[in-house]
Structure 1
């Protein structure tokens, strides 16, 4: 019968050779070296000694796949090497963002996506991390945009209904006078600002511009009935443009056409192209 040498060689170790061993609770106790479980995987003392020598040789060497975390004293080159080892592309344009379906009216600005790439590169993120963040964040942005658009549309409808409840059939004329007054005061820049801020959709703002229209458009409004026999308005001009004397080349009346053009010039003084404001 072959004797069991696996345990026998450990028993040759002196009894006064002890080591500290921590239990599952972290409490350290003294135990005989011969009873240490790590020695059980070696069948002979020679194997144990060879393993010890190999372990000593590996001290100070980096295992395969090991990446050292840069310290406070390391420079940008060491930090760049660390990020590169983790998978960061060499330049910010190395990040490829996934294609995403966007709702109508929503635009993904190139300057913002380029800024995202630059910041991701600065932080040392990997392409997979950036792609994952982009796919998570963009739907949240689009949902927020959709909510803002719906809110703005609801506000426009509510404010318009408020105008109708006050002015009823005169609402189109009020809107026209307000628009022309705003244009006369601030030009296209003011109209653009009113559109971008949604201020131009508020009933209070529209009423305010409509009230000052007689002051800023005094010549146009007070002289609008001259030669017409009725109040001049954009609605009236639209009706006249549908008249065969204006729209039908075979029945075109030069006097009638001139009157329509003069009406537009009175309503919209300055640079005027017939029909451009309809």
Structure 2
């Protein structure tokens, strides 16, 4: 065989070897999977890559985008999770260990009603998985809401008191200030007749809003007049009440008499039709005051 023939023959015989070497170093999409464990060869998450390098790039990108430390991975419990599983889940989210561990920030618990609400809410908050941060938010909102409602109620009460005062001043005129002092005294006497402690009775009277009730105050004003004019209070005989003003009543009435321009004019004008009446009223008041002094 000539050299040329041998060279040609060698060229023919060496070509398959070159092709084999190329196939070994650059695998196709199908045969690179052959090197993987059989369980992964048909996995769609892997077969979508066209080679090992592509797969590694995908894994690296996934880790950079979604990768978190293992202690920060939290699996959502299924809908039918057990109470124990839910408790563990809430604990991982930051729920306190016990209902008593919640702190009530942002709310004034000096009010017994608010305190009772907050204390009653502990168990429900814990059962629902509230964190302390969530509890702080709720208590802050509740506290501001309570303050707003309290302010609105106080404004309404103030407006009602002012309206009542206007109504009574219109009805009583110059005797308004007298009744403001006389009515509590009348109420004390009624309380005593009923066998009640006068301080407790007055407290109940004020807390019940009766002082801001125009109708009640007008009735008590009539009772005050009955006492001042010597008439007995309903249910009392004259023996139980002297029938005259008390010393304190006389002082108040004398002050009002002195400040009444019409009565003063009648007192100092003998020609005034009410001159004699004014003198009688002055003398009666002076006698009571002198007696009680």
Larger Cα-atom Rg: 2
Q: Counterpart of 2:174 in 1: which secondary structure?
A: helix
| Alignment map for 1:70-219 (pairs within 5 Å) | 71=80, 74-75=82-83, 77-99=84-106, 107-109=110-112, 110-183=115-188, 184-185=190-191, 187=196, 188-213=199-224, 214-215=233-234, 219=240
Contact 2:32 2:51 in 1 (8 A): no
Length-normalised TM-score, structure 2? 0.52
* Cα distance change of structure 1 residues 66 and 132 upon mapping to structure 2, 3 Å threshold: same
Q: Check conservation: 1:92, 1:121, Cα contact below 8 A.
A: yes
Offset of residue 156 of structure 1: 0.6
SS class of match (1:125): coil
**Aligned partners of 2:136 and 2:119: how far apart in 1?**
13
Give how far 1:135 is off. 1.4
Tell whether the 8 Å contact from 1:70 to 1:79 is kept in structure 2 after alignment: no
Between Structure 1 and Structure 2, the one with more helix by share is 2
- Corresponding position of 2:277: none
Partners of 2:30 and 2:291 lie apart in 1 by 118
Contact preservation (8 Å) 2:105, 2:140: yes
State the Cα distance separating 1:157 from its structure 2 match: 1.3
Q: Superposition pairs for residues 58-77 of structure 1, below 5 Å?
A: 64-69=73-78, 71=80, 74-75=82-83, 77=84
- CA deviation vs aligned residue, 1:143-172 (integer Å, no higher than 9, x gap): 111011011011111101111111111112
Distance in 1 between the 2:145 and 2:217 partners? Answer: 34
Give the superposition deviation at 1:88.
1.6
Backbone CA RMSD of aligned residues: 4.5
Match of 2:5 in 1: none
TM-score (norm 1): 0.54
Q: Deviations over 1:75-101 (max 9, x none)?
A: 5x444334323322122232223346x
Superposed displacement of residue 45, structure 1: 11
Does the CA contact (< 8 Å) of 2:164 and 2:212 recur in 1? yes
> CA separation of 1:141/1:201 partners in 2, compared to 1, >3 Å: closer, same or farther?
same
- Whole-Å Cα distance in 1 between the matches of residues 101 and 181 of structure 2? 53
Structure 2 CA distance, aligned partners of 1:204 and 1:212? 13
Rate the CA distance shift 1:85–1:172 in 2: closer, same or farther, 3 A: same
> How far apart are residue 127 of structure 1 and its match?
0.8
CA distance in structure 1 between the partners assigned to 2:178 and 2:244 by the alignment = 16
Aligned length: 199
Gaps of 5+ in 1: 14-32, 52-62, 240-255, 261-278
C-alpha separation between the residues in 2 aligned to 1:39 and 1:166? 97
Q: 2:292 aligns with which of 224, 242, 259?
A: 259
Gaps of 5+ in 2: 1-21, 34-41, 60-71, 225-232, 257-288
Cα distance, 1:70 vs structure 2: 6.6
